[in-house]
Amino acid sequence: MRTLILENDFLKASVLVDKGSDIFELIYKPLDIDVLWHSPVGHHKPAEITQSIATPDGAFFDSYGGGWNDVFPNYGFASSNLGS
């Protein structure tokens, strides 16, 4: 999958552009520590995953590799904040 890497002297953020821009790696460079959780499933292109079992949440966990998911503008029902 296409990957975008943003980094400076302290942080390195790696983003999966082809998977909804999920942040899959966030490394604190001075200690070489990745602060994000990683699933044993790993990261795969959503189009290459076959859903294992029909579940109420769909095939999310079949393709969830961990990291920090960016769901924009939101996931689920519409919501409001402070009347807007």
pLDDT along the chain (84 residues), means of 10: 94 88 92 92 74 66 76 65 73
Q: At 76, is the secondary structure helix, strand, or coil?
A: coil
The predicted structure's pLDDT at residue 19:
78
In the sheet that holds 33-34, the strands lie side by side as 3-7, 11-16, 22-28, 33-34
The pLDDT, as a whole number, for residue 18 is 80
For residue 25, list its beta bridge partners: 14
